[in-house]
A and B are shown apart, each in its own frame.
Chain A
């Protein structure tokens, strides 16, 4: 059960992929059938179970890309639907010769990299049964870039398989949607995620339950909350700040505070990585530490720094997005309390504050705030200054004392 082990709560999807991986591609099929070695097992698998292009959709944190790579490992392993250890290890390291991955640490996937992947997808596999192209974040392609994929997705070479990942089908062009087979992932239950945290990270069950609940079953977020007390404290501070907004002045100051929290978060992730990458590049270019970079090599350093800047923008946006998701959970709770459904509250720890907040305004105001959060997320994506988007969102969260 090697490759499917680390996935939680996605039994249905795994069953589909297992069946697909079990089928032997036609080129290989005839050879095997002649020898009669695995003839019986092949015939039990439906011939329609495998296709050349897959789309895995599901909410963030449900393990889309993990599942995609598990499926890739299963496809690349010779024979078994559960994958063999060597292939799985190569896929984990992203070094398998028949695997190409399209991913980005910036805001969008660039057209050049897509074109390169399309060109590579035309080669026949070198060691595995298939050549596999995984596109993480297929929603991070602009329309022009997606169009490059169309031809390759429609008629790929016989043994090439495309696996795309996106939050939902609506994030992709209809022309792409019609060329792929969609597998939808469920949101894993809180108990499943908590169980995974206890099993894999050895977290205390109470904290595991709390983290899984607060992260709304986002596995990555739950792990962060479970393993870092600081992250939990920061989240709570965010929510308390939002609940304490009584005037424009406090809203604008809260926006500055939230932005600082997101910025610190982003910096913690990128700063170390940036320095390490720069050192690595200087070493491979043969420039000693402390020595000035020769003019001929500066363009390469510049390219690296540009990439790093793009990554910093992305991680700041991701940080703000996380904060907005947390805030959305908060106002969801407020409206639940207002409508008398206290048992379904996510932020149980703040129940007293939630009751106070629900008394401070009508449900309509809460709904307006939830809408404002959605608008802010959308605006940040379309390049509005994050500070301004946050301020506008928090202004709508003002509950003036009567």
Chain B
């Protein structure tokens, strides 16, 4: 009965930065631009954003018409006819929201029936397809993207860069109408760089608890200097000659769950690349081909190599092998062995 709800203000179709596959004619939107459509394809690997987009859509539809009928379908254990049954009009003609999960693992039955459904979508029915990435169901995706069935696509790609996460967190505070300082945001992003859900939960906690502006002190009180980091960042500091920072980062990495063995492997990988490139002349592409490295790895290594000597590298490699043995049981204290390694590398192997 209800006419198709008017689209929200974010109608201005701003194609998301994600890939635009050939033959795509439907709008591709970011996760916060979700709006009702007969078919809403939620694609991408970031589950947290996808769930949030689907929840927003449901809340919006529920607001439009509280009698909304919501049903969930698993595409991997799909029983034939399910989609059609759920989409067919009921006696009072309530609008229907059908959420289909696991489309990336869908059964052949689902694939065939979904394709049929696209030809002839039901009135007042919103079908949300959650596709978590992968090649399975590619035909379905292509058909949807070619415009059949009046679909939109919500692209939920992983937020990889720190700046993207920073923007995400800033947006969380903005939506809640809470003021937050830039340094507090930076600290938050550093503390929860691995999992977007964790970052979001931390933001929500601060929004709920803090009375006035959220500052660095507030973040510090809640998340006490926690920094999530990884082995490569430790290696970067050490190779840049910053012993102190490397040791601090190492402690952060160890307390947030890193294991000494992969840390040594990360060091070995970086030093090995540097040693290969040391003293070699030529363009980065040519050297890369020669040593089996990507050009950016060569450039990075060349940059890292400033101030290093051949003897220094040799000493570092000897200590690396010793440390690898030590963290695998030859020494008593793996962390001490790592700290010693960092010292040697930060001195660039000089005595």
Contact = CB atoms under 8 A, between A and B. Distances in A.
Contacts of A248: 275, 278, 310, 313-314, 317
A247 B317 contact: no
Interface in A362-402: 376, 379, 382-385, 387-389, 391-392, 395-396, 398, 400
A247 B276 CA distance: 10
Contact of B321 (A247, A249, A388): A388
Interface in B289-318: 291-292, 310, 313-314, 317-318
Interface in B163-216: none
B275 A388 contact: no
A391 B317 contact: yes
Contacts of B328: 382-384
Given A379-B325, A385-B268, A388-B268, A249 B275 contact: yes
20 contacts: A247-B310, A248-B310, A248-B313, A248-B317, A249-B277, A249-B279, A249-B310, A251-B275, A252-B275, A252-B276, A253-B276, A253-B291, A382-B330, A388-B320, A388-B321, A388-B324, A392-B320, A392-B322, A396-B318, A398-B314
Q: Which of B268, B272, B277 has the most CB of A within 10 A?
A: B272
A92 to B, nearest CB: 40
A385 B272 CA distance: 13
Contacts of A383: 328-329
A398 B278 CA distance: 15
Contacts of B279: 247, 249
Nearest to B277: A249
Interface residues of B, number: 24
Nearest to B321: A392
B280 interface: yes
A388 B269 CA distance: 9
A385 B324 contact: yes
Report the 4 A-B pairs with minimum CB-CB distance, sorted nearest first.
A392-B321, A252-B275, A248-B313, A395-B314
Nearest to A393: B321
Contacts of B317: 248, 251-252, 388, 391-392, 395
A389 B318 contact: no
Contacts of A391: 272, 275, 317, 320-321
Nearest to A252: B275
Contacts of A376: 321
Interface residues of A, number: 22
B268 to A, nearest CB: 5
B79 interface: no
Nearest to A390: B321
Contacts of A379: 321, 324-325
Contacts of B329: 382-383
Contacts of B313: 248
Contacts of A387: 268, 272
A51 B236 CA distance: 63
A395 B318 contact: yes
Nearest to A253: B276
Q: Which of B278, B310, B314, B328 has the most CB of A within 10 A?
A: B314
A389 B280 contact: no
B329 to A, nearest CB: 7
Given A388-B324, A392-B320, A395-B318, A249 B278 contact: yes
Contacts of B322: 392
A392 B313 CA distance: 11
Interface of B: 265, 268, 272, 275-280, 291-292, 310, 313-314, 317-318, 320-322, 324-325, 328-330
Given A382-B328, A385-B268, A385-B324, A247 B318 contact: no
Given A248-B313, A251-B317, A385-B268, 16 more contacts: A248-B275, A249-B277, A251-B275, A253-B276, A379-B321, A384-B321, A385-B265, A385-B324, A387-B268, A387-B272, A389-B321, A389-B324, A391-B321, A395-B317, A396-B318, A400-B310
B280 A249 contact: yes
A400 B313 CA distance: 14
Contacts of B268: 385, 387-388
A142 B321 CA distance: 24
B241 to A, nearest CB: 18
Contacts of A400: 310
Contacts of A253: 276, 291
Interface string A265-287: 00000000000000000000000
A389 B322 CA distance: 9
A388 B271 CA distance: 11
A339 to B, nearest CB: 26
Contacts of B277: 249
B330 A392 contact: no
A249 B265 contact: no
Contacts of B325: 379, 382, 384
A393 B252 CA distance: 32
Contacts of B310: 247-249, 400
Nearest to A389: B321
Nearest to A376: B321
A382 B324 CA distance: 10
A384 B272 CA distance: 15
Contacts of A384: 321, 324-325, 328
B98 to A, nearest CB: 30
Contacts of B330: 382
Nearest to B328: A383
A382 B325 CA distance: 7
A249 B308 CA distance: 13
B324 A247 contact: no
Contacts of A249: 275-280, 310
A385 B314 CA distance: 17
A252 B301 CA distance: 14
A376 B320 CA distance: 13
Contacts of A395: 314, 317-318
Nearest to B330: A382
Contacts of B280: 249
Nearest to B315: A395
Contacts of B314: 248, 251, 395, 398
B272 A392 contact: no
Contacts of B278: 247-249
B110 to A, nearest CB: 20
A259 to B, nearest CB: 11
Nearest to A372: B318
A397 to B, nearest CB: 11
B350 to A, nearest CB: 14
A136 B279 CA distance: 48
